[in-house]
Structure 1
Amino acid sequence: MAIITLLTDFGLEDPFVGQMHGVILSRCPEAKIVDLTHGVQPQDVRQASFLLARSYEWFPPGSVHVAVVDPGVGSERAGIVVEAQGHVFVAPDNGLCTPLFSGARVHRIDMGIAPRSRTFHGRDLFAPVGAEIASGRVAPAEVGPPHEPVKLPPAAKGRVMVVDHFGNLITDLEADGAVAVEIAGRRIPVRGTYSDVAVGELLALTSSFDTLEIACREGNASALLSARVGAEVRVV
């Protein structure tokens, strides 16, 4: 079975995601499409990079991951295909795939596909390429020449990367024996699980992303702390 995942900042209010599904199914009818998330913060390449790097491993080897957070759409930026860890990634060359580059093979997309729109390469370029690879008609190395990709510049760690459905604040900080974190002027203890504190109390713990998460037991830490994606966090 051909598995294709989609990660974008398109949201679900508009038909953009559905159009990508249609393009993929037209070229690879047997594809199993998994919508990893379409809730990336608009134009937040670093958040998309974090989510992709922390999610692909849960899929079978050989899966094709199409990731489109593309502030430079319509410009001269390249599209790339990355082979890493037994998976294939199709994305704009804007640093989104930075965590995957170690030991990876990277190729610039040069398949003669002329995007119909200068504003929607997700539908017109990346979805078709992902489908062609998933179908087996095109090997990743056949999409174009080897390419030196753009990498995200190093950033100091200590940021809320995701606010999940429950209002938990997922950070980019490793636990590494931390005993407390500080955010919005509050010192919050690190605990093992939600039940280690009383209902309504704040705690930090290791999230399912293997990084520190700030939560409120049976509550909403984001609302309680007025903290959003990008908020600064530090280990204390």
Structure 2
Amino acid sequence: MLFLLSRKRTIPLYIRMAIITLTTDFGEKDHFAGAVKGAIYSELSDIRIVDITHSIAPFHITEAAYIIQNAYKNFPEGSIHIIGVDSELTPETNHIAVKLENHYFICANNGIISLITRDIVPQEMVEINIHNRIITNFTVLDVFVQTACHIARGGTLGVIGKPISEIKPLTGIQPVVNKSQKQIIGNVIYVDNYGNVVSNITRKLFEDIGKGRPFKIEARRTQISKIHKSYSEAINFSLEKHKREEEGKKLAIFNSGDYIELAIYKSNPTTVGSAASLFGLDYRDAITINFED
């Protein structure tokens, strides 16, 4: 075991370097997020804690899945991700710890992780079974923190859980392709801070089905027939500024997660409006792509 020398005490290297991230629907008003951080620091004072977000809509597991899927890959391997959304232990929902691409995820088995594991095979999955050792009605604070700190100390998943081979799928958000391969019917899975609308249609699915054919994206009464590489690509900067079509310019891009996203250029939901408000779109609303022959 490697150690870092300190005047006060000897600190294991894996503790010094460990990162624990937090993704929750706790919000900023209540004590919950602060209490979880305090509990982690009480166990491991030298740990690093990163808030991904505490602003997930309450119990919105699809939103949580989308955010963690796009955030975790930017952290170093060995990072531990606590997901505190719809996390209560029930007869129908257990708690799991999953090792995936050398990252660790601790959450309820409510479908959150299935969005990530759809394309990546987990290295290890366990059902957490330390609940009988802990009296709690706040499982993120107690069970999830204990699990994360155990992993951060170098502990194995087998000590805190029993192996499982399947996890609960996140149902109802998979796009559908018609028999003629001319249409993809997807849904809104996330609306971001700018009011941009993210669909569940990936670049891979679009390219596999489209095969370079002309297309139209339809969402309510909005139609778009081009997907840009970036937001600004939709603007013709060769024109003088007063002649450009900027304000209210609707567009589609493949976003950083490689999902088709509908947007308004430089939108502001509180002033000029956004794709969500101007197109009249919200979670689970249909987004359809029709391909021409």
Q: TM-score, normalised by structure 2?
A: 0.73
- Partner of residue 207, structure 1: 255
5 Å matches for 1:37-186?
A: 37-70=53-86, 73-76=88-91, 77-98=93-114, 99-100=116-117, 102-111=121-130, 112-117=132-137, 120-136=138-154, 138-155=155-172, 156-157=174-175, 158-175=186-203, 176-177=206-207, 179-186=215-222
1:231 maps to 2:247 = no
Deviations 1:160-205 (A, max 9, x none): 2221111111221123346442112211232232222421111000
CA 1:149–1:38: 2 relative to 1, 3 Å? farther
Deviation at 1:54, TM superposition (A): 2.5
Deviations 1:115-147 (A, max 9, x none): 421xx21112112211221133x2222212212
Secondary structure at 1:4's aligned position in 2?
strand
Deviation at 1:153, TM superposition (A): 4.9
- Partner of residue 18, structure 1: 34
RMSD of aligned C-alpha atoms? 2.0
Deviations 1:18-42 (A, max 9, x none): 1111111111111111111222222
Deviations 1:76-116 (A, max 9, x none): 33211111111111111222211337243111212344242
Residue range with higher mean Cα deviation, 78-87 or 155-164: 155-164
- Partner of residue 52, structure 2: 36
Count of matched residue positions in the alignment of Structure 1 and Structure 2: 232
Q: Which contiguous aligned blocks of 4+ residues in structure 1 show a shift greater than 4 angstroms?
A: none
Q: From the CA coordinates, give the structure whose radius of gyration is larger.
A: 2
Secondary structure at 1:14's aligned position in 2?
coil
Deviations 1:1-23 (A, max 9, x none): 11011111222221111111111
- Partner of residue 216, structure 1: 264
- Partner of residue 193, structure 1: 230
Structure 2 unmatched ranges of 5 or more: 1-16, 176-185, 236-244, 268-273
Q: TM-score, normalised by structure 1?
A: 0.89
